[in-house]
A and B are shown apart, each in its own frame.
Chain A
Amino acid sequence: MSLIIKNLCARVKDGADILNGINLEIPSGEVHAIMGPNGSGKSTLSKVLCGHPDYEVTGGSVSLDGQDLLAMSVDERSRAGLFLAFQYPVEVPGVTNANFMRAAMQARLPKGEDVDAVSFYKELRGRMKQLGMDTKFTARAVNEGFSGGEKKRNDILQMMMLQPSYAILDETDSGLDVDALRIVSDGVNAMRAPFRSFLVITHYKRLLDYIHPDVVHILSQGKIVKTGGFELVDHIENHGFDFLKTTKE
């Protein structure tokens, strides 16, 4: 069981090429980190995997547990086990967090079955407590008026509720203070399991100190140019991405 990306190429619709042949395999149970300079294609990769309509796949393939991910609609990808914690979680005015989550859970049930309201709310409140969120957030519109940190926690809450097999965390650490970073990381670590993988996109070592990755990849100009262990994180923290230029030259 794994997420296999082969020679993935993508561009902004009617625009520039951004991904230029990504090759990546994330087996179940592993945590992979992707680092890279601004504009290298990290967020594009996460959005392309989830099927964002602004991007167009121009080549390659993605297999999720043997299924053709790119042939699926956005919602099918989620129900197949893929989750994206957004870099900038979206505000949805008028739709409460509880109704949103309930609709997402309902979508996973067979026709004719309904979400059990009592156990749903019990679980939702329990997860919120775990993330240090006020349970009043259940009645608030999704991310509307939330601080940056609250939005990120809300995304992690959704991940905990939906229990995906493959979770992509796109710069989840940005906008989080030290305490929130620890709480969110604890939440993610609690979900680590042999049947679940994570792809953690970040600029900074501080998140990876909490969520220790098994493999680290460096993305540059839409390609993975280096793969290694945690020593790569240390190297980038100390020397930045300048070594990429040297490598290219």
Chain B
Amino acid sequence: MDFPQNMSMEAAFALAEAEAKLDAALQESRERFEQAIIPNRLNEDWRFGRPHKYATALAELLQSSLLSHGVATVLHAEEAAVRITAEDDDLRQTEMLMPTIGSDAMLGMHLKRFGQGYALYIEESTTEPIVITYRGGELYTPATFIMVAPGVKAHVIEHHIGSPGSTMFATRNIQVAEGAALKVELTSKGFEHYMCITNIQNMGGKVSHLTAHEDSAWVREETVAEIYTAGADTRLFSANHLGGASVLDQHTKQIHHVGEATSDLLYKNVLDGKATATFAGNIYVAPGAHNTDAYQSNRNMLLSENATTNSLPGLEILADKVRCSHGSASAPLDEEQLFYLCSRGIPQYEAQKLVAQGFLEDVLSRFNKDEQ
């Protein structure tokens, strides 16, 4: 290792220690990818995710000779956006260190295809939202990195757009520095298979993160939100209207490494037809992370008797003086609300649509109310 000439001995030791830590973490990651197996039913994190069908199909595609291909565009980013290449070793290392929720094998396969997508280095507050769009073909494996500098306010919108028979497997790394504020929304639409692994690292800023998926046969979403600094505020939202035989498999972790910080999650789904939604969320409060506020709520509205929901909220609290709660509820459409709307002449189908939109509306309004 080469040290700058004017570096103090103390700083040189600290740098060497940090480098050693990184090497060890990378080595650990290499080992986890080597040991990882394609998810199956015995994997608790894939229990309701039909791994025999979807994970296997995705893995086969990722391991095939098919090239990852898609079109990536970015708007209103000025100098902040950089197109990722296969030579970006620092970003590749960041992806290597990403936590997953039962999908190490899949992340390992994504890494082998690393080199597509955008990195946003946001050092000045944005006036307009930065919009990233990934349009995928048969197989597309983009990565997004969003890094927001201290005190900067930003709004980022990501659209992931597919076509019939298309597959996308995306990763997203979001880092928010102290005093920064980031609103970030992700929409996906029109895939046969869609998987997304997101890691949010909050270093003392405010993050509001919203996802909305529509018109895909299968969606697997893993979101790990980590809190590293007191005062951090992380809010996770998701609102989805599912129909047909679509499958939405959402997994979240809110990890409080330190105390005096807040995380809040609200995931809501409306399910029609034979749709299935699974939510498995965990709040982890590390030892010593006192005065943590962490909340988690999953709500589902069922428009059809054939729709299915699996909701598995969880808490793991290893600190004192915390305020944590979790809850889930799934219920059919409220018949009284439907009757009220119909009694004003609104046809049943329209009334049902209004009630369903209303059910999801508070997710969107809470996200929209959050300041950038």
Task: Report which A residues bind B (CB closer than 8 A).
Answer: 50-53, 73-75, 77-79, 83-84, 86, 89-95, 99-100, 103-104, 107-108, 141-142, 158, 162
**B333-371 vs A, Cβ < 8 Å mask (1 yes, 0 no):** 001110111111111101100110111111000000000
CB <8 Å contact, A75 and B337: no
- With a cutoff of 8 Å between Cβ atoms, the chain B residues found around residue A104 in the complex are 341, 344-346
| Alpha-carbon gap, A52 to B361, bound state (A) | 27
- With a cutoff of 8 Å between Cβ atoms, the chain B residues found around residue A108 in the complex are 345
| Alpha-carbon gap, A74 to B345, bound state (A) | 7
Q: Which of B345, B348, B351, B361 has the most CB of A within 10 A?
A: B345
Query: Can you list 30 A-B pairs with a CB-CB distance of less than 8 A?
Result: A51-B343, A52-B339, A73-B342, A74-B339, A74-B343, A75-B342, A75-B348, A75-B351, A79-B345, A84-B343, A86-B340, A90-B337, A92-B340, A92-B341, A92-B355, A92-B358, A93-B359, A93-B362, A94-B358, A95-B354, A95-B358, A99-B354, A100-B341, A103-B350, A104-B344, A104-B345, A107-B344, A107-B350, A141-B361, A158-B344
| Alpha-carbon gap, A171 to B370, bound state (A) | 41
- With a cutoff of 8 Å between Cβ atoms, the chain B residues found around residue A107 in the complex are 344-347, 350
Query: With A78-B342, A90-B340, A92-B340 as given contacts, are A100 and B354 in contact (CB-CB < 8 Å)?
Result: yes
- With a cutoff of 8 Å between Cβ atoms, the chain A residues found around residue B348 in the complex are 73-75
Closest A residue, CB atoms, query B353:
A103
Q: Which of B337, B343, B355 has the most CB of A within 10 A?
A: B343
**B286-303 vs A, Cβ < 8 Å mask (1 yes, 0 no):** 000000000000000000
| Alpha-carbon gap, A99 to B345, bound state (A) | 14
Closest A residue, CB atoms, query B349:
A75
| Alpha-carbon gap, A108 to B342, bound state (A) | 12
Contact of B342 among A74, A91, A142, A162 (CB under 8 A): A74
Interface contact tally, CB-CB below 8 A: 83
| Alpha-carbon gap, A62 to B328, bound state (A) | 44
CB <8 Å contact, A89 and B345: no
| Alpha-carbon gap, A141 to B2, bound state (A) | 63
Task: Report which B residues bind A (CB closer than 8 A).
Answer: 335-337, 339-348, 350-351, 354-355, 357-362
- With a cutoff of 8 Å between Cβ atoms, the chain A residues found around residue B358 in the complex are 92-95, 141
Query: With A75-B351, A95-B355 as given contacts, are A162 and B362 in contact (CB-CB < 8 Å)?
Result: no
| Alpha-carbon gap, A50 to B348, bound state (A) | 14
- With a cutoff of 8 Å between Cβ atoms, the chain B residues found around residue A94 in the complex are 357-362
Nearest Cβ on chain B to A97's Cβ, whole angstroms: 11
Majority-rule SS of A interface residues:
mixed
Please name the 6 residue pairs, one residue from A and one from B, whose CB atoms are nearest each other, closest first. A94-B358, A94-B361, A78-B345, A90-B340, A74-B342, A95-B358
CB <8 Å contact, A75 and B345: yes
- With a cutoff of 8 Å between Cβ atoms, the chain B residues found around residue A99 in the complex are 354
| Alpha-carbon gap, A77 to B354, bound state (A) | 20
Closest B residue, CB atoms, query A82:
B343
| Alpha-carbon gap, A142 to B348, bound state (A) | 17
Nearest Cβ on chain B to A62's Cβ, whole angstroms: 15
Closest A residue, CB atoms, query B345:
A78
Other than the known A52-B339, A95-B355, what 18 A-B pairs have Cβ atoms closer than 8 Å?
A53-B335, A75-B342, A75-B348, A78-B345, A83-B343, A90-B336, A90-B339, A92-B340, A92-B354, A92-B355, A92-B358, A94-B361, A95-B341, A95-B361, A100-B346, A104-B341, A107-B346, A107-B350
| Alpha-carbon gap, A107 to B353, bound state (A) | 14
- With a cutoff of 8 Å between Cβ atoms, the chain B residues found around residue A86 in the complex are 340
- With a cutoff of 8 Å between Cβ atoms, the chain B residues found around residue A103 in the complex are 341, 346, 350-351, 354
- With a cutoff of 8 Å between Cβ atoms, the chain A residues found around residue B359 in the complex are 93-94
CB <8 Å contact, B347 and A92: no
- With a cutoff of 8 Å between Cβ atoms, the chain A residues found around residue B339 in the complex are 50, 52-53, 74, 90
- With a cutoff of 8 Å between Cβ atoms, the chain B residues found around residue A142 in the complex are 340
Nearest Cβ on chain B to A233's Cβ, whole angstroms: 28
| Alpha-carbon gap, A157 to B106, bound state (A) | 57
| Alpha-carbon gap, A51 to B348, bound state (A) | 13
- With a cutoff of 8 Å between Cβ atoms, the chain A residues found around residue B357 in the complex are 94-95
CB <8 Å contact, B355 and A100: no
- With a cutoff of 8 Å between Cβ atoms, the chain B residues found around residue A78 in the complex are 342-345
Nearest Cβ on chain A to B106's Cβ, whole angstroms: 35
| Alpha-carbon gap, A93 to B357, bound state (A) | 9
